[in-house]
């Protein structure tokens, strides 16, 4: 049901109540007037006829009948003269006032007063006096009838007027509804203009503000989707680049190990042979040969250190568990005063290569940062494998502060974060009091790693 129809029905109901009250008051006034007139006329007629016994005393019933004929009709009363055998001798003539017309029975029943007939006893008969309110009721009906037509006309015209006024008053709402429909259809640039009235202008301003908010929200969501898509593409690209870098590092490390390692070994063998041949014969050649041997050993050691940085061989041959133990063991050898605690489950060897490489690189970078920049004396590395994810925590007691890492230029932290996010994981850096930082990484497991127990 429309608002216009609802308001019109309310106005109709109020007008109906008002009209009913008005008609009810008119009927009540008519009922009182008829009652007063009929009762008064009946009392006067009763008193008059009660005093007419002298007519009966001189002329009998015939004289009474003749007298009543001369009197004629008494207003609002019916008079009957009957003898002692209940034979009708005289009856009032019919009224000539508005002859042939009668008020509706329902109206007469409401307005006419219920008065009982009155009798006046005579020695040889009786007079019967009955109140007759039909003419007074008809007068009341004639007064009410035009009023009913006026009320009906006012009721109809009032409803038509209210319906038209409400249609004009609610016209701005139609524009609002159409605007909402346009917005529901995807036209978020819809705006309302030229709404009449103070309320219409307020509705227009509120609607336009809402539409602007919705449009801004849609635009923000679109930009957020585009940003999320771009971020996902960047992470995928980062993942591909990192995988490619790891492949190239592995290829370079293998090339160094297989080619350069053999050549350095050959140089060392030839130098050793020269040194043995020159021993006791030419000290200068022997010394030069041994110098070449020492250089070859240094090149070999440097090559192995470079290979371990490019791609740890233990990670390819023995798995993440042994690779991390080897990494932390080398830290202990290079830094005798450093305390390193590690909690590494054997289930790490079941991780796929990409995930294992990311964990190793994050631990490697975190340990290097703690030693190189924070001068840490203690490093705790904890790894755990749950049903759905792998949790890594690296804690140091160095002098590093999280606030120092908020700006740019910290590529090690950015690299760790990118590695974690590229695999769909999370990276968090928090401060440890009184000193030190905590790195927490959570990475989702692949199906292969999930099926392996701790």
How far out from the chain centre does Cα 217 lie? 14
Measuring CA to CA, which residue among 109, 128, 132, 125 is closest to residue 117?
Answer: 128
pLDDT of residue 448: 44
Q: Which value, to the nearest 10 degrees, does the dihedral of the CA atoms of residues 133, 139, 144, 146 take?
A: 160
- Global pTM reads 0.45
Long-range contacts of 58-63 (CB under 8 A, 24+ apart): 60/124, 61/89, 61/122, 61/124, 61/125
Measuring CA to CA, which residue among 49, 61, 55, 51 is closest to residue 85?
Answer: 61
How far out from the chain centre does Cα 74 lie? 82
End-to-end C-alpha distance for the chain, whole angstroms: 68
User: 192: which residues sit within 8 A by CB, 6+ positions away?
Assistant: 175, 176, 179, 203, 204, 207, 208
How far out from the chain centre does Cα 181 lie? 18
The answer to whether 336 and 372 have CB atoms below 8 angstroms apart is no
pLDDT of residue 453: 41
The answer to whether 76 and 37 have CB atoms below 8 angstroms apart is yes
User: 420: which residues sit within 8 A by CB, 6+ positions away?
Assistant: 358, 362, 426, 427, 441, 442, 443
Q: Give the residue ranges of DSSP H helices in 170-197.
A: 171-184
Q: Give the residue ranges of DSSP H helices in 398-444.
A: 411-422
Measuring CA to CA, which residue among 392, 399, 393 is closest to residue 372?
Answer: 399
CATH number of the 315-454 domain:
3.30.565.10
User: 222: which residues sit within 8 A by CB, 6+ positions away?
Assistant: none
Angle, helix 134-169 to helix 3-50, in steps of 10 degrees: 170
Q: How far is the C-alpha of 306 from the C-alpha of 257, rounded, in Å?
A: 10
What count of Cα atoms within 13 Å lies in the side-chain half-sphere of residue 392?
28
User: 52: which residues sit within 8 A by CB, 6+ positions away?
Assistant: 64, 67
Q: How far is the C-alpha of 365 from the C-alpha of 380, rounded, in Å?
A: 14
Distances (CA, A) of 373 to 218, 366, 440: 46, 10, 19
Cis upstream peptide for 153 (omega within 30°):
no
**Secondary structure E strands in 317-377:** 339-343
Q: How far is the C-alpha of 133 from the C-alpha of 126, rounded, in Å?
A: 22
Q: How far is the C-alpha of 145 from the C-alpha of 84, rounded, in Å?
A: 45
User: 362: which residues sit within 8 A by CB, 6+ positions away?
Assistant: 392, 394, 416, 419, 420, 439, 441
| Residue indicated by tokens 């592995």 | 250
Encode the chain (454 residues) as per-residue pLDDT tens digits: 677 778 888 888 888 898 889 888 888 888 888 888 888 888 888 877 777 766 666 677 888 788 888 888 888 888 888 888 888 888 888 888 888 888 888 888 888 888 888 888 888 888 888 888 888 888 888 888 888 888 888 888 888 888 888 777 777 777 777 788 888 887 878 887 777 777 777 778 888 888 888 888 888 888 888 888 887 777 677 767 767 776 777 677 667 766 777 787 888 888 888 888 888 788 888 888 888 888 888 887 777 777 666 666 667 677 888 888 888 888 888 888 889 998 888 767 677 888 888 888 889 888 888 888 888 899 999 998 887 889 999 999 988 888 777 655 566 788 888 888 888 889 999 988 888 899 999 999 864 444 444 4
pLDDT of residue 441: 93
The answer to whether 437 and 400 have CB atoms below 8 angstroms apart is yes
pLDDT of residue 50: 76
pLDDT of residue 242: 67
Helix, strand, or coil (residue 336): coil
pLDDT of residue 184: 81
The structural domains of the chain, with segments of one domain joined by +, span: 3-169, 188-311, 315-454
């Amino acid at each position: 049901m429309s608002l216009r129809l609802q308001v019109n029905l309310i106005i109709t109901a109020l007008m109906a109540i008002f009209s009913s009250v008005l008609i009810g008051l008119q009927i009540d006034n008519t009922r009182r007037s008829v009652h007063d007139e009929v009762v008064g006329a009946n009392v006067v007629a009763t008193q008059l006829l009660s005093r007419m016994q002298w007519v009966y005393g001189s002329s009998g019933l015939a004289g009474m009948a003749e007298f009543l004929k001369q009197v004629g009709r008494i207003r609002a009363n019916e008079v009957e003269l009957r003898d002692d055998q209940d034979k009708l001798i005289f009856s009032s003539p019919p009224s000539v006032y508005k002859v042939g017309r009668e008020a509706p029975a329902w109206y007469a029943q409401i307005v006419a007063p219920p008065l009982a007939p009155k009798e006046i006893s005579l020695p040889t008969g009786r007079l019967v006096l009955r109140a007759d309110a039909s003419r007074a009721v008809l007068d009341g009906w004639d007064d009410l009838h035009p009023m009913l037509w006026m009320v009906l006309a006012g009721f109809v015209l009032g409803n038509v007027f209210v319906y038209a006024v409400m249609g004009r008053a609610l016209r701005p709402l139609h524009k609002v509804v159409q605007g909402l429909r346009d917005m529901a259809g995807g036209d978020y640039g819809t705006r309302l203009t030229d709404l009449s009235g103070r309320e219409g202008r307020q509705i227009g301003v509120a609607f336009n503000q809402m539409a602007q908010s919705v449009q801004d929200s849609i635009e923000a969501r679109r930009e957020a989707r585009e940003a999320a898509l771009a971020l996902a593409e960047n992470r995928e690209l980062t993942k591909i680049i990192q995988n490619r870098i790891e492949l190239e590092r592995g290829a370079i490390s293998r090339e160094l190990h297989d080619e350069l390692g053999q050549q350095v070994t050959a140089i060392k063998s030839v130098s050793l042979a020269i040194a043995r041949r020159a021993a006791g014969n030419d000290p200068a050649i022997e010394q030069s040969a041994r110098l070449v041997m020492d250089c070859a050993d240094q090149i070999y050691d440097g090559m192995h250190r470079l290979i371990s940085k490019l791609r740890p061989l233990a990670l390819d041959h023995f798995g993440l568990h042994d690779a991390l133990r080897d990494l932390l063991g080398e830290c202990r050898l290079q830094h005798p005063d450093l305390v390193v605690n590690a909690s590494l489950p054997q289930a790490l060897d079941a991780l796929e290569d990409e995930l294992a490489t990311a964990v190793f690189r994050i631990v490697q970078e975190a340990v290097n940062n703690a030693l190189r920049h924070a001068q840490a004396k203690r490093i705790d590395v904890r790894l755990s494998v749950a049903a759905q994810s792998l949790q890594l925590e690296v804690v140091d007691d160095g002098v590093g502060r999280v606030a120092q890492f908020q700006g740019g230029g910290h590529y090690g932290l950015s690299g760790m974060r990118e590695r974690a996010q590229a695999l769909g994981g999370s990276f968090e850096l928090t401060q440890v009091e009184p000193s030190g930082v905590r790195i927490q990484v959570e990475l989702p497991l692949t199906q292969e790693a999930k099926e392996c127990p701790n």
